[in-house]
Each structure stands twice: as C-alpha cells, then as structure tokens.
C-alpha cells in the first residue's frame, strides 16, 4: 500500500514528486492544452474530476495520486492578426505593441482560469506559455517534456457545429507521440 | 471539495481490444497508470470489450466455395476472440485488478465500441492507436480515428512508442 505524505496547503510551488513510494511506473507527467474556449476548460475540469481522484481520505494535493500536471497555453504568432489594410501593409509599431500586450493579457487570463480550476480541485499545476501554432507547439512540447498523457478539449475556437473534432485536437490525436485524452463537451440534455 | 467519487460515482472506462500489440499495450498502459497501486478499490470501473468480426465480413466477396469455408472461419474467429479475452484477463490479474467486465461483441469494431460506450454509460473509451493491419504510413488507425470523432464520451488514444533507432 502506498503512503501519501500529507503536504501543507498548496503553495503553488512545485514539489519533488520522485521520492514518493516505490512504484515509479505509475507516476505520470500529464499535460493539458488550454485556450480561451469553454471546451478546453471543460476538458481540464473533466480530467481533474475523473482522473485525479484521491484513493482514500482527503489529501491536500491530489496530484500525488497521479503525477505532475502541466498547463500549456499556445500563443498564436502575431502575424495572424495583422492583415494588409490599404496602403499601410504593415501595422504600426504601436499597434503591434498593443496587440502583443492584449495577447499576453489573454494568455495570462487563460492560465489563471485554468490554475483556478486546479486549485479548486486540490491539484497542483505548473503553467507554461509557448509561442507558435497550437498544433505544433503541443506536439513538440509533449515530446520535449516526455509527457505521459496529453489532455485536450475536442473543439476549440473554431466553433463549427458540424465539426465533431476540432482541428487542433484532431492533429494532435494523429501526430502526438504520447497517449492523448480527448474530452468531449458535455451533452446538452433536452 | 469532498471526495464525491466514493460509492456510486466510479469512472467507467471501456477499453477496446483486438488481437494487436497496440491494443494490449493500451490495456496494459491503462492498468498501470490508473489501477496499479490503488489497492482493492480503485475509483475506476473497467470494461474490456472485444469486437469479434463476423465470418461473412472476413470472407467478403469470396467466390464459390465461400460458403464452405464459413464454419472454419467462424471457429477461427471464436478461437481468436477467446484468446484475446484470455490474454486480457491475464493482464488484469497481473496488475491485481479484479473488478473487470469482459465482453465479446460481434460486429465492426467502430460500432461495437461506440455502442459499448452507450451501453455501459462509459465516461471514457480507451483504444490503442492501431489495430489489425497497421499500415506503417498511417499515424492513427481508422478505428481509433472513428472513435475519437464519434464516441459520445471522452476518448483516450494510447500510442505504443516506436523504438528509437
């Protein structure tokens, strides 16, 4: 039977997980891709509720039961938002600045929301922001960080009702080298 | 937030298996990460589903003589199904997991798995990334791709890591 060390209140710092118990094989490095969409937040909630469960009694940090949780937010490169308008093909410097700031604020907001979800469920999480196209960023990050499980929502920003699987999650399902958990949005009960 | 998952709220996991290495890897991975070391009462309920192909689907559009081959193909498929379930049982006992349901359902794996999800009100479907006929160029098998799109619950695709050169 594994023994869980009872930690004091979650400080947001990362603790060394490696020394816990003898069964190294089951501790996982889990990464959740988060963006502004409800789908990815729901995916995080679902995964935390269903997978990060304590085996017995209350543990202040449920991450102990399963492993490390990393929240990844991919920041779209800015040239996506700049389109040629009339004679001025390039956006002015100030416009770029303000867009960059807006984007940074957005990323911080996303990660704060995600962190809040984790804190509510007594799970410690680390947060990372990486610049780039979400598909590539996520797949690369899973490889570089030796992630054991990737958690994603099934539909994100492109809310096309008929698409049953969003493009980023579809891409990652095909190309990520690690196991991937795709969480579908909750069913709407008639 | 109190631990609400104790009695009734166990997460139901359906694991789809066939005769391939990939699907047994997926089962083993699931057992290792979610069931090992949890003692006698893990917060998950496991249902192992094997889709048995029907003999006519295997024979396909065989010419004359197809009918004669039918009983042999049928018994062969039954044997494979029994072996698959046997192997799954061994894996579960090796990981000390006792509370498992095993099902063999005849039909196309895509439909069988999605229906099993409905039947067991599964919270999660676990599949390997490739099954029968894993063609090297495809990065994701057709069944796992179908399930990722169409299953009504969360889908976990477990990939068997390629050996590094």
pLDDT band at residue B157, thresholds of 50, 70 and 90? Answer: very high
When pLDDT is averaged across residues A25-54 and rounded to a whole number, the result is: 83
Cα dihedral sign for B62, B68, B71, B72?
Answer: negative
What's the pLDDT tens digit per position in A1-35?
Answer: 443 433 333 333 333 333 333 333 457 889 999 98
Q: Which of residues 19-38 of B touch A (CB under 8 A)?
A: 29, 32-34, 36-38
Distance separating alpha carbons of residues B39 and A28, to the nearest angstrom: 18
The two structure tokens encoding residue A174: 């095909």
ipTM: 0.84
Residue B57's pLDDT is what? 78
Distance separating alpha carbons of residues A153 and A159, to the nearest angstrom: 12
CATH of the domain at A93: 3.40.50.620
CB contact under 8 A, A173 and B154: no
CB contact under 8 A, A50 and B2: no
Residue A62 belongs to a domain: yes
Look-up of token digits 């976990």: B156
Residue A22 belongs to a domain: no
Residue A141 belongs to a domain: yes
State chain A's mean pLDDT as an integer.
74
| Domain count along chain A | 1
CB contact under 8 A, A174 and B154: no
Query: Domain B8-56+70-159 sits in which CATH superfamily?
Result: HUPs (3.40.50.620)
Residue A6 belongs to a domain: no
Residue A188 belongs to a domain: no
Distance separating alpha carbons of residues A32 and A15, to the nearest angstrom: 19
The residues of A whose Cβ lies within 8 A of any Cβ of B are 1-2, 21, 23, 25-26, 28, 46, 50-51, 53-58, 66, 120-122, 148-149, 164-165, 169-170, 173-184, 187
H or E segment to which residue B156 belongs: strand B154-158
pLDDT band at residue B79, thresholds of 50, 70 and 90? Answer: very high
What's the pLDDT tens digit per position in A129-165?
Answer: 998 999 999 999 999 999 999 999 987 554 555 456 7
- Model-level pTM? 0.80
Residue A149 belongs to a domain: yes
Distance separating alpha carbons of residues B126 and B124, to the nearest angstrom: 6
What's the pLDDT tens digit per position in A63-117?
Answer: 555 678 999 999 887 665 555 555 555 557 777 788 888 888 989 999 999 999 9
Residue A180's pLDDT is what? 94
Distance separating alpha carbons of residues A59 and A3, to the nearest angstrom: 11
Distance separating alpha carbons of residues B13 and B9, to the nearest angstrom: 12
Residue A88, Cβ density class (10 Å: 0-12 exposed, 13-18 middle, ≥19 buried): exposed
- CB contacts of B159 in chain A (<8 Å) are 176-180
Which residues span the domain enclosing A148? 28-183
Residue A17 belongs to a domain: no
Residue A130 belongs to a domain: yes
CB contact under 8 A, B33 and A66: yes
């Amino acid at each position: 039977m594994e023994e869980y060390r009872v930690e004091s209140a979650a400080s947001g710092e990362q603790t060394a997980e490696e020394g816990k118990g003898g069964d190294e094989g089951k501790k996982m490095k889990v990464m959740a891709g988060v963006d502004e969409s409800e789908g990815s937040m729901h995916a995080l909630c679902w995964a935390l509720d269903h997978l990060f469960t304590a085996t017995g009694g209350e543990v202040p940090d449920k991450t102990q039961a399963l492993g490390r949780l990393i929240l990844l937010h991919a920041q779209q490169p800015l040239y996506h938002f700049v389109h040629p308008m009339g004679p001025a093909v390039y956006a002015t410097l100030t416009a770029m600045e303000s867009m960059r700031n807006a984007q940074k604020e957005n990323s911080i907001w996303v990660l704060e929301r995600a962190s809040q979800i984790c804190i509510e469920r007594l799970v410690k999480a680390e947060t990372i922001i990486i610049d780039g196209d979400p598909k590539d960023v996520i797949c690369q990050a899973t490889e570089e960080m030796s992630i054991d499980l990737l958690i994603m929502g099934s539909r994100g920003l492109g809310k096309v009702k008929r698409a049953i699987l969003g493009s980023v999650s579809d891409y990652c399902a095909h190309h990520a080298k690690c196991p991937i958990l795709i969480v579908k949005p909750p069913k709407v009960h008639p | 937030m109190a631990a609400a998952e104790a009695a009734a709220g166990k997460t139901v996991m359906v694991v789809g298996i066939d005769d391939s290495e990939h699907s047994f890897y997926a089962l083993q991975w699931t057992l290792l990460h979610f069931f090992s070391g949890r003692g006698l009462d893990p917060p998950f309920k496991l249902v192992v589903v094997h889709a048995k192909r029907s003999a006519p689907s295997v024979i396909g559009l065989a010419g004359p003589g197809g009918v004669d081959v039918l009983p042999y193909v049928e018994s062969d498929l039954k044997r494979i199904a029994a072996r698959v379930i046997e192997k799954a049982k061994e894996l579960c006992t090796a990981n000390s997991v006792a509370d498992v349901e095993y099902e063999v359902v005849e039909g196309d794996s895509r439909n069988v798995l999605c229906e099993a999800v409905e039947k067991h009100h599964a919270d999660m479907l676990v599949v390997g990334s490739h099954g029968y006929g894993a063609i090297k160029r495809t990065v994701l098998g057709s069944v796992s791709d179908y399930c990722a799109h169409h299953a009504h619950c969360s889908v976990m695709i477990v990939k068997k890591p390629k050996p590094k050169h």
